[in-house]
Amino acid sequence: MSVEPRVSIHPDSSVLMAAIAARLITKLVDVQDKHGEATVVLTGGTVGIGTLKAVADSPAAPAVDWSRVNFWWGDERFVAADDPDRNTRQAFDALLSSIPVDPARINEPASTDDFDTPEEAAEDYARRLREAARAEHAADMSDDRPDEPGELPRLDVVLLGVGPDAHVASLFPEQGGIREKELTVVGVRNSPKPPPQRISLTLPAINTAAEVWMVVAGEDKAGAVGLALAGANPVQVPAAGPRGTSRTLWLIDENAASRVPQQLVRKDATGA
């Protein structure tokens, strides 16, 4: 089941990114203590990449066994693998190149070097997620192991930014991706934000995550944040749709919080 979102407001974007980094480090350590490994779905954007840099700079970062963290991405631009606009390239520059990761656990979405169309890249990403779910299922010796593997591995934390138009991942208002009910990954051809071709997790896939963290800064996002938290329809306001099965957090700065319903506000500049 999903849970109603909780909002934590931080004074500015730099404090916000440091707080998210502290939360993420703590969460990954806790999940590894329970499961032996942890899985995080990364996002791009200023806050998403700034958070990864804050993780890299944190003296607490070595508390995580980075060799046992699985990395996926919520979306990616369907461009060349070495394109600096790719979320994966930016994540490597900010964090992954400076920690002892297992390359086999870094699951980069395919690029135009690999496939001709975003649909082919999306199908490949969905296949790899499915294979990870099967491997996880085979290794699960617990009493509550399901009879059959699902389409997705256990996603412990999904990080999502929000655009001024309220898009999340590459799910844009009124477009086919946000309406998708069956697929876990979709190809996007007409993104209103360049580049036009992308691949993205769908809302049903995102909402299998234990925790979804919406990470947002800036006055230009305030309208989108306010509409999402007021319960708008996700087809018009995609940011209204993500819900973790155990926790949904909006981690935002004061500029992004100006239109948040006051009953949802919890001012919190800590990693608690």
- Given the DSSP bridges, would you call strands 198-201 and 185-188 parallel, antiparallel or unpaired? antiparallel
pTM for the model stands at 0.94
Two tokens at 257? 């919080």
Please check the confidence at residue 270 and state whether its pLDDT lies above 70.
no
CATH of domain 6-141+150-267: 3.40.50.1360
Helix (H, G, I), strand (E, B) or coil at 262: helix
What confidence tens digit (pLDDT) does each residue in 208-255 have?
999 999 999 999 999 999 999 999 999 999 999 999 999 999 999 999
Of the given ranges (4-8, 39-43, 117-121, 124-128), which has the lowest mean pLDDT?
4-8
Range list of H helices, 96-234: 118-139, 176-179, 203-206, 222-229
3-class DSSP state for residue 232? coil
Where in the chain are the domains? 6-141+150-267
Q: Identify the pLDDT of residue 143.
A: 65
Tokens for 21, please give them: 């980094």
Other beta carbons within 10 angstroms of residue 191's beta carbon come to 20
141 against 219, higher pLDDT: 219
pLDDT for 131 equals 97
CA distance 268 to 59: 21
Whether the pLDDT of residue 266 is over 70: the answer is no
For the record, the structure tokens of 227 come out as 């509409």
Residues 39-86 have pLDDT tens digits of: 999 999 999 999 999 999 999 999 999 999 999 999 999 999 999 999
Give tens-digit pLDDT for 100-121.
Answer: 999 999 999 999 999 999 999 9
In this prediction, residues 122-147 reach a mean pLDDT of: 88
